[in-house]
Amino acid sequence: GAVVSQHPSRVICKSGTSVKIECRSLDFQATTMFWYRQFPKQSLMLMATSNEGSKATYEQGVEKDKFLINHASLTLSTLTVTSAHPEDSSFYICSAEIGRSTSTDTQYFGPGTRLTVL
Amino acid sequence: QQPVQSPQAVILREGEDAVINCSSSKALYSVHWYRQKHGEAPVFLMILLKGGEQKGHEKISASFNEKKQQSSLYLTASQLSYSGTYFCGTANNNAGNMLTFGGGTRLMVKP
């Protein structure tokens, strides 16, 4: 199956600092990647859709200046949480799709990044 | 709008069966099922497409009733490894691959 990696797996940072999370598709090219946020015992909430070579599309209520997304290549997307605060602490998961961006293609998820902001 | 999953939680003995439902208030084009274990990423199980298909993978199968705008996941003769939270992700059209996930169903299989 398709493999998606995320780095780092865990990060603890001080309030006010920025944190970058990388999402890589290891054995396939991903035109589209997705970034999710998940709170304990809750569902996956889509934050943004990241398209290679273009600006990300953010979901309503997600601050694009706070959650910077860059999809510089077909195998790498990054999410930078700028000026992180304790309320940004969460489990961030990326996913990548194989295919032609239709709903018949599924998403493969990375292992997630646990962010804790002190 | 988020699809509704039921039940929210279920506890089974090893070998018992379970059904998890996913209902949408909008017309569905496809339904994607995932299983997530605690602290890990969701793992893809299967996709069902518009057309009312059924699919199976070993003792886990699913159906998609587009008229009722719902999908059901069937777990037969459950194993300890089936424990986890099951999510359905739905797509309302064929334009793009954005999925909206249900609230999840926590399944615990006990020996």
Q: Supply the pLDDT for residue A29.
A: 86
Q: Supply the pLDDT for residue B91.
A: 86
Is there a contact between B98 and A44 if contact means CB atoms under 8 Å apart? no
Is there a contact between A102 and B101 if contact means CB atoms under 8 Å apart? no
| pLDDT tens column, A71-93 | 888 899 999 999 999 999 999 99
Q: How many CB atoms lie within 10 A of CB A82?
A: 15
Higher-confidence position of A111 and A103: A111
Higher-confidence position of B93 and B53: B93
Residue B4 has pLDDT above 90, yes or no: yes
In this complex, the residue of B29, B41, B49 whose CB is nearest that of residue A93 is B41
Q: Supply the pLDDT for residue B96.
A: 58
d(CA A81, CA A68): 7
A70 three-state secondary structure: strand
Q: How many CB atoms lie within 10 A of CB B95?
A: 11
| Mean pLDDT, residues B56-66 taken together | 83
